[in-house]
A and B are shown apart, each in its own frame.
Chain A
Amino acid sequence: MNKKQKKMLVRIIISALLLIGASIIPKTDSLKLVRLPLYLAAYLVIGYDILKKAAKGVINRRPFDENFLMAVATVGAIALAVYEKSGDFGEAVSVMLFYQIGELFQSYAVGKSRRSITSLMDIRPDYANIEKDGNIEKVDPDEVPVGSIIVVQPGEKIPIDGIVEEGQSSLNTAALTGESMPRDARMGDAVISGCINMTGVLKIKTTKEFTESTVSKILELVENSSSRKSRSENFISKFARIYTPAVCFSALALAIIPPVVRGLIMGLGAEWHVWIYRALTFLVISCPCALVISIPLSFFAGLGGASREGVLIKGSNYLETLSQVKTVAFDKTGTLTKGVFEVNGVHHNKLVNEKLLEYAALAECSSSHPIAKSLMQACGRQLDRDRVSDIKEISGNGVTAIVDGMKVAVGNSKLMKSLNIPYLDCHCVGTIVHIAINGEYAGHIVISDVEKPGVKLAISELKRVGVEKTVMLTGDAKKVADRVAADLGVDEVYSELLPGDKVEQVERLLSKNKKNEKLAFVGDGINDAPVLSRADIGIAMGAIGSDAAIEAADVVLMDDDPMKISKAIKISRKCISIVYQNIVFALGIKFLCLLLSALGIANMWAAIFADVGVMVIAVLNAIRALKTS
């Protein structure tokens, strides 16, 4: 509990004691002068701030808030007690007391869940160490220019992305990825900010400014997530704006119209005090706290619970969309498969294997495609890039280049067709890279990818949580794509797609979905950015270090675990269902009690339950969204 809460607790206890004292004094006229001050003291101890806030609200021309409602209701109840000469102010004091107990409870519960969420996201580095004249100086990470050398001691966080210049250590990436295995870092390795240096001193040459570093990007994402409001949140804030004034005026009408009608038209007793009491009860019930507090809290808890699982969701609107996902489309390479291709064979070649591999690798040397990387790796030695010129990448087909003065074309069968070079197909399943030198077929290299462990289980898990269709989109050959899809249990496969085709295919899938059936696209974010942003919801996997993916995606899975997709859907469903439960429950009880109070069946005690009780239950329900397992 913080200072404010402790103070409130003391006020509650004092007020409760005064109230008990006042109510055990026998209700005789002779003791009236003892009871009255006790009630008044109890009321002022517990309610002075509410009265103050209500007055301020009126002065600032924002009269219709819960403070105003409470002030009017309790002051009204006291006035009635004076009018009726009952001397029973217990009701007014209790209403205020219970209201404050509810508020205290709510603020305590919210503070607690907030701390448990934020402590998990505590990755902000406070300083960077810079070496100056042999001394280490602590500076604000904001002030470190690109290319500076920073020193990271064991136990410290890496503040800025960079490359290790000196030293060797293992890094704890748990705060970023949820992955507990430490990662090794040695000279020449790129390291990302937010990791904790565990064993050795590292000297790091920064490659980015602090604001562009991974840790800042992630923090920005997390911190801005609440500014993207969901439909339910917008509904509630609009609702609250109309609701409170509407209720105030209905209460006023309830206090005036029935007595006037009874008195003037029906010729009965006006019974003003009865109707004013009902109107005051009406006001207490009507407080919209349960909704305006529990709905944002549910979303906060949902987003927090998700980030604890290593799933960053950019806003509560995406949480809402995620819960309606019925189709999940996957990119194949890097998402379903490791994207680590290995050369499995070299066929139909006239040159020696190594020579052919070398030419292929040289031609692909500037490409970032996984296939290019595996060719270079298979080649096994440092490539002399000066031997290559005129590199042309033909998206979705391959590469042509001049290597050692020879025209080398490296790519799939489409490339060979477009160059009119007869090629030989391969009986092996895998990606076939054909090579032509000076317009003549020189053989092909078989490269195959490895499926990620756990993907198959992850896909069946998706089906279990209610995803109706899984789709795989890939630029890869049909044969490979079909085999992978059959292996993993994916429903539909679209293969041999160029990057532009993927967007078209996603649009086609989108048009097939009904209004409340959303499509999620899962990619690794390297070349999927357009598709990620086109889908209803874009999910980037293993995106740490890839700025493009963090920007384009709506949901970022911090580690590579495909199981997290179904987990994220489950979290979102739970959160949304809690939101609906709270809306229906709170409004249901409120309207029921409003009706009962207007009819005179519900008294102030029922009103307190409808206000505080409903709020406490709704807050407790909202906090459930934080628990993800």
Chain B
Amino acid sequence: MKKAYKIEVDCANCANLMEEAANKTDGVKSAAVNFMLQKMTVEFDEGKAPEDVMPMVLKSCRKVEDDCEIFF
């Protein structure tokens, strides 16, 4: 399953770091961050519910970029 989320991130490099962090999160098959559109597209692993995975994604993103926001 693939879903898109609105995000808030200030700089392009932070967006890259978020993308990296999201990709390393459990339950995420692949993630892409579009800085220009302030959007994160997440493809979830088979059988994982987005509601369970997204808080983890936000947590790992906060680690690399303190004041980022993901709306889910």
Contacts and interface: CB of A to CB of B under 8 A. Distances in A.
Interface of A: 4, 49, 52-53, 56, 60, 62, 106-107, 110, 114, 117-118, 121, 222-227, 237, 240, 289, 292-293, 296-297, 300, 303-304
Given A110-B11, A293-B12, A293-B13, A226 B35 contact: yes
B41 to A, nearest CB: 7
A237 B38 CA distance: 20
Contact of A62 (B12, B33, B41, B63): B63
Grouping DSSP codes into helix (H, G, I), strand (E, B) and loop, the B interface class, with mixed when no group exceeds half, is: mixed
Contacts of B49: none
B56 interface: no
A226 B63 contact: no
A106 B35 contact: no
B36 A118 contact: yes
B26 interface: no
Interface of B: 4, 10-13, 15-16, 32-39, 41, 63-64, 66-67
Given A60-B64, A223-B34, A293-B11, 7 more contacts: A110-B12, A121-B37, A222-B37, A223-B41, A226-B33, A292-B16, A300-B35
7 contacts: A4-B10, A56-B66, A62-B63, A62-B64, A223-B4, A292-B16, A293-B12
Contacts of A304: 36
A53 B32 CA distance: 24
A223 B64 CA distance: 23
B12 A107 contact: no
Q: Which residue of A4, A121, A225, A292 has the most chain B CB atoms within 10 A of its CB atom?
A: A292
Closest 4 CB pairs of A and B: A296-B12, A292-B13, A227-B32, A60-B63
A106 B11 CA distance: 8
Contact of B10 (A107, A223, A227, A289): A107
A52 B62 CA distance: 13
Nearest to B38: A114
A110 B37 CA distance: 12
Contacts of A56: 63, 66
Contacts of A121: 37
Contacts of B10: 4, 107, 110
Given A118-B36, A224-B32, A226-B36, A297 B63 contact: no
Contacts of A223: 4, 34, 37, 39, 41
Contact of B66 (A52, A110, A226): A52
B66 A53 contact: yes
A292 B66 contact: no
Nearest to B67: A4
A300 B32 contact: no
B13 A226 contact: no
B11 A226 contact: no
A397 to B, nearest CB: 43
A158 B62 CA distance: 38
B15 to A, nearest CB: 8
A60 B67 CA distance: 15
A365 B4 CA distance: 43
